[in-house]
Amino acid sequence: MLNFSHKDTSIVALIIMLMLCNEQTEHNVDITEAGISVLEAGSGYGIVLRRIAEKFPKSNFLGLELSRDAVEKGNMLAHKEGLKNIKFQEGDVGINHLIFMNI
């Protein structure tokens, strides 16, 4: 199991953002312009996910977390930051969370 400290999260976020910036679909569509859906399991209150959602407003982000407190804090912070493309939800990863297009 991989474990990241808060220092590592900025590096992980940077790597993900660089991957998104360079990613194109097989039909040569820039996904940063078209938007994609991203699920982060074990998101906590979204330290990384909120920063990525801020940089990619055309994409949708779902943070899935077991802790109700973290989910409430993540949704509150996203609202406070004006992020309309991100949502935090309490739950465990399962087949029902693999389809999350309607954020």
- Domain positions in the chain: 6-97
Return the pLDDT at 84.
97
pLDDT tens figures, 2-13: 344 444 455 555
Indicate the fold that domain 6-97 takes in CATH: Rossmann fold (3.40.50)
Q: Which residues contact 12 (CB under 8 A, 6 or more apart)?
A: 4, 48
pLDDT tens figures, 5-52: 444 455 555 556 556 555 555 555 566 677 788 888 888 999 989 988
